């Protein structure tokens, strides 16, 4: 009633060389179809850049169907036009690369700090987080210290938002009965633009800390001691 609905659709698009499996996630807000849906695109056969281009093309088509149900039409459209989208993506790839080199690497870089209450299926959970961050080009840390579990991410703001959608809507963990379940006990502690004093993480790493001091040093090294002081100690109470 307040958040709308989210669902996944997986389609198989036949291409001359090989089939492409598209995993599409649609979030329909409460006032859909008067408001555009949020769309996330993933595929093991496409690069991250190609998935982003597919998403942008779907949103362009969605605008043409505003105020009328559109998901079915969007699915049919991408099945018919995926080849053209991929070809166009390859053509503009070099141009985008050239433009990005001329920009400051700090432009549009955001940071997200998440707190997880627990992680029952730890091995699978960690692998899923690693895959999502890799697909979305995000860097940072998955941090364990006692019962505290934190995810610190840096990257493009839109990709961080996509990560949040995946984190909240995917069956990433298991419940007390061992059944797959969505992450319901997650808190967004902070979402902000990366500042000059903040160190940019070069990769995404999973790390475990024996003491609070070790965890604090991780934040200090990254120029994030203020973030640590504001959000981490209260989690111990």
User: Is 77 in the same domain as 11?
Assistant: yes
Indicate if the pLDDT at residue 174 is higher than 80. Answer: no
Note the pLDDT of residue 142: 93
Structure tokens at 21: 């499996």
Does the pTM surpass 0.85? The reply is no
Note the pLDDT of residue 105: 43
Cβ proximity of 42 and 26 under 8 Å: no
Domain region containing 22:
5-92
Q: Flag whether 228 is in a domain.
A: yes
Note the pLDDT of residue 170: 80
SS (H, E, C) the chain: CCCCEEEEEEEEECCCCCCEEEEEEEEECCCCCCCCCEEEEECCCCCHHHHHHHHHHHHHHHHHCCCCCCHHHHHHHHHHHHHHHHHHHHHHHHHHHHHHHCCCCCCCEEEEEEEECCCCCHHHHHHHHHHHHHHHCCEEEEEEECCEEEEEEEEEHHHHHHHHHHHHHCCCEECCCCCEECCCCEEEEEEEECCCCCCCCCCEEEEEECCHHHHHHHHHHCCCHHHHHHHCHHHHC
Domain final position from 61, 92, 123: 92
Indicate if the pLDDT at residue 83 is higher than 80. Answer: yes
Cβ proximity of 202 and 139 under 8 Å: yes
User: Is 175 in the same domain as 217?
Assistant: yes
Structural domain count of the chain: 2
Indicate if the pLDDT at residue 229 is higher than 50. Answer: yes
Could you read off the pLDDT of 89-136 as tens digits, one per residue?
A: 666 654 444 444 444 344 568 999 999 888 877 888 889 899 899 988
Note the pLDDT of residue 204: 92
Bridge-based pairing of strands 204-209 and 139-145 is parallel
d(CA 132, CA 112): 14
Could you read off the pLDDT of 12-62 as tens digits, one per residue?
A: 988 767 789 999 999 998 999 899 999 989 888 888 788 888 999 999 999
User: Is 152 in the same domain as 216?
Assistant: yes
User: Is 134 in the same domain as 71?
Assistant: no
Q: Flag whether 129 is in a domain.
A: yes
User: Is 60 in the same domain as 175?
Assistant: no
Note the pLDDT of residue 4: 84
Indicate if the pLDDT at residue 86 is higher than 90. Answer: no
Q: Flag whether 97 is in a domain.
A: no
């Amino acid at each position: 009633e307040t958040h709308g609905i989210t669902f996944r659709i997986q389609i198989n698009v036949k291409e001359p060389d090989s089939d492409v499996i598209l995993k599409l996630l649609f979030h329909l807000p409460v006032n859909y179809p008067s408001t555009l849906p949020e769309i996330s695109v993933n595929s093991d056969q496409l690069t991250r850049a190609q998935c982003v281009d597919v998403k942008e093309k779907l949103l362009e088509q969605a605008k043409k169907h505003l105020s009328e149900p559109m998901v079915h039409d969007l699915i049919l459209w991408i099945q018919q036009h995926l080849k053209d989208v991929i070809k166009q993506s390859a053509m503009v790839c070099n141009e985008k690369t050239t433009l990005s080199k001329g920009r400051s690497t700090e432009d549009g870089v955001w940071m997200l700090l998440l707190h997880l209450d627990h992680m029952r299926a730890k091995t699978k959970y960690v692998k899923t987080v690693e895959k999502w961050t890799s697909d979305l080009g995000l860097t940072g840390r998955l941090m364990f210290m006692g019962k505290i579990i934190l995810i610190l991410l840096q990257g493009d703001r839109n990709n961080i938002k996509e990560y949040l959608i995946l984190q909240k809507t995917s069956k990433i963990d298991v419940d007390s009965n061992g059944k797959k379940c969505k992450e319901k006990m997650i808190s967004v502690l902070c979402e902000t633009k990366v500042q000059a004093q903040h160190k940019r993480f070069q990769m995404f790493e999973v790390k475990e800390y024996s003491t609070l001091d070790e965890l604090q040093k991780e934040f200090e090294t990254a120029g994030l001691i203020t973030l640590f002081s504001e959000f981490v100690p209260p989690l111990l109470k």
